[in-house]
Amino acid sequence: MIKRTLYFGNRAYLSLENRQMVISKFDDDNKPVKVTRPIEDIGVVVIDCPMVTITSGLMEALLENNCAVITCDKSHMPVGLMLPLYGNSTQNERFRDQLDASLPLKKQLWQQTVSQKIANQSAILKHIGIECGNMMAWSRSVKSGDIDNLEGRAAAYYWRNIFPDYPDFTRGREGAPPNALLNYGYAILRAVVARALVSSGMLPTLGIHHHNRYNAYCLADDIMEPYRPYVDELVLDMLKSGYNDFLDKEAKARLLSVPTLDVVIGGRRRPLMIAVTETTASLYKCFSGECRKISYPER
């Protein structure tokens, strides 16, 4: 079942009652109202207001239900992510399989990841009428560990062409529009992937390629790579539909749909959140020796 993403951008008091999230807030006429949501239906919670209060009992219930809780800073950008410590009944065994994964296996998994990411980027360019023969060739030529850095070469070409209306666009966290839209969408995607990794019994910190000592979600950053083009396509569609290229209320509402985007994985159409769980389940099978290929979406 697809889980709901709840966003709180105004003052609210969030509590727990009878396994329901109780949302106490004020309506447009400044009258107090209460709304309830079943805990089991919630997958991601985004808190984007310093006047939101959440009780410890509700936080415990959300984490027990494997919900990802995102907090935002004063610029309304995601700055924190809270996940449960344990998300699978065979946690210890799965941790050991992940920790024991050999370097050659991790390099092969990164090869698959980069190859599919470039293939999905290529599909986006093709869809908007940009020549992508070189991207398709690079996708087929990725070696174990991507020792030729084809990911970087593809990224340079991709970002130079992905936004025709922004000829001088440079991808960067602090860059000019529409970077803020991309950053927000990626943050939601990262939370969805990290949540799925915990649910599959793996440590989101221990990556197959990323290894920044200050990054608590290296594996999530690895596994989300082939999914990034879906966020890029969403941002493209938003700009074509007349959305502003900066992060306003309407843009955030649209970007919160990332978990429900349609993707094709294993020949079947699935919501992105469901597809990610298939990906993380297949990753664990690679760590345990049951298979050698990660199941990724194909654009």
Per-residue model confidence as pLDDT tens digits over 51-98:
999 999 999 999 999 899 999 988 888 889 998 877 666 778 888 999
- Both 118 and 221 in a single domain? yes
- 170 touches 240 (CB < 8 A): no
- 191 touches 255 (CB < 8 A): no
pTM (predicted TM-score): 0.90
- Both 110 and 247 in a single domain? yes
| CA gyration radius, the chain | 20
Distance, CA of 26 to CA of 237 (rounded, Å): 33
Distance, CA of 78 to CA of 192 (rounded, Å): 13
Question: pLDDT for 33-56, tens place per residue?
Answer: 999 999 999 999 999 999 999 999
Count the neighbouring beta carbons within 10 Å of the beta carbon of residue 96: 12
Q: What is the pLDDT of residue 174?
A: 84
- Both 77 and 135 in a single domain? no
Burial class (CB in 10 A: 0-12, 13-18, 19+), 153: middle
Containing 8, the helix (H) or strand (E) segment is strand 4-8
Identify the domain containing residue 145 by its residue range. 91-288
- Both 57 and 126 in a single domain? no
- Both 274 and 202 in a single domain? yes
What is the total count of domains within the chain? 2
Annotated binding site: 151, 210, 225
- Both 215 and 101 in a single domain? yes
Question: pLDDT for 255-266, tens place per residue?
Answer: 999 999 999 999
Count the neighbouring beta carbons within 10 Å of the beta carbon of residue 63: 18
> What CATH number corresponds to the domain at position 272?
1.20.120.920
Domain-located, residue 294: no
> What CATH number corresponds to the domain at position 49?
3.100.10.20
Residue 261 CB partners (closer than 8 Å, separation 6+): 230, 234, 271, 272
Question: pLDDT for 203-244, tens place per residue?
Answer: 888 999 988 776 778 999 999 999 999 999 999 999 999 998
- Both 100 and 61 in a single domain? no
Annotated binding site for Mn(2+): 151, 210, 225
